[in-house]
Structure 1
């Protein structure tokens, strides 16, 4: 009997997993929430001008996507995910139980925010998040585009995150003033 391998994504893994999978299901993880809670000094900011990226902060629940991966390619997928999700080791690799849209509960590999890492930003106000995101740019592009992509893709999954949408309005206003 082979072990089922699942990966849970709550941000860009939802729309750009970057690996082959056998199945994709909408999924909910309880006990964690999607939040801009990690200073980005790599992908969406720099050490001189950090931005913010998503993490799974303690509390609440988060809707995302779970991917079932074939056992024979698991080592390759796992290596890819470690490289993608751990450039500055701001996440803690963990096993988490999610409920799939079809009602099944499965164990998934997920990356939780490391609340002890120096890049942990914690619970910032929307105003402070907007200040950090506006104007920040890293190796993967502008921070505001990451936020915009998130909202677009959440809507495509029929997920409305009103706080993220309000945050985008605030960031757009700050960037307009800066021009």
Structure 2
């Protein structure tokens, strides 16, 4: 731990509605140069080793766009037939991800670091990035100079690469794990983003939310 240096954590998935312990301040904002996708297999939270679910990761935008152009791919196959990301209708969405930055009590930094290291053990690595926000006059400004974000790299064992949205929706609709139903994770994330940032358009997230709810309604009919 660096003396005098604040420890911030950026949440873009479940940390949005379930902040890390010992949070003393939070600031909404966004991270640039990344995209948020349900491209991470979950066998320990929202799925099982036999039937893994899907959770979000943020992916370096340049890496994702290389996939979108058919240049390179993830090194491990998904459980379903992989489609090339050039078919991704959201490949041209804005390269930023909205979330929440949390400042951790300095006295509890090591404890929280250990907690997050364990929590994000399934295929994530940590990176320090600036978090931005938009001022009242529409100007972009830095909200937090350096915040830790957990990113799933393309070569990690849990990264499934591009899957068509309908395939992801089918999986999320039926999968569940120790932390609960996979669809609950999606619903809470979509609702949290809508509530925190009414002006933000996240076509991929909101379309997936609608697709899974449609499947749920059809199953209950």
> What is the TM-score when the length of structure 2 is the normalising length?
0.74
Q: In the alignment, what sits opposite 1:94?
A: 127
Q: Matches of 1:58 and 1:125 in 2, distance apart?
A: 19
CA RMSD, Structure 1 to Structure 2 (Å): 1.8
RCO comparison, higher one (Cα < 8 Å, 6+): 2
Q: Secondary structure at the match of 2:148?
A: strand
Contact kept, 8 Å, 2:16 with 2:189, in 1: the verdict is: no
Q: Matches of 1:18 and 1:146 in 2, distance apart?
A: 16
Q: In the alignment, what sits opposite 2:79?
A: none
Contact kept, 8 Å, 1:43 with 1:141, in 2: the verdict is: yes
Structure 2 unpaired stretches of 5+:
62-94, 136-140
Q: Matches of 1:13 and 1:31 in 2, distance apart?
A: 20
Q: Secondary structure at the match of 2:116?
A: helix
Where does 1:76-115 land on structure 2 (aligned, <5 Å)?
A: 76-86=111-121, 88=122, 90-100=123-133, 103-104=141-142, 105-115=144-154
Shift of 1:47: 1.8
Q: Secondary structure at the match of 1:131?
A: helix
Q: In the alignment, what sits opposite 1:172?
A: 213
Contact kept, 8 Å, 1:100 with 1:106, in 2: the verdict is: no
Deviations 1:143-170 (A, max 9, x none): 1111100111111102442322221222
Q: Secondary structure at the match of 1:134?
A: helix
Structure 1 unpaired stretches of 5+:
none
Where does 1:107-146 land on structure 2 (aligned, <5 Å)?
A: 107-146=146-185
Q: Secondary structure at the match of 1:57?
A: strand
Q: In the alignment, what sits opposite 2:106?
A: 71
Deviations 1:72-103 (A, max 9, x none): 211111111112121x2x10111112224563
Are 2:74 and 1:39 aligned? no
Q: In the alignment, what sits opposite 1:52?
A: 54
Of residues 168-177 and 49-58 in structure 1, the stretch that sits farther from structure 2 once superposed is: 168-177
Q: 2:5 aligns with which of 3, 25, 44?
A: 3
Q: Matches of 1:99 and 1:168 in 2, distance apart?
A: 26
Contact kept, 8 Å, 1:154 with 1:160, in 2: the verdict is: no
> What is the TM-score when the length of structure 1 is the normalising length?
0.90
Aligned length: 177
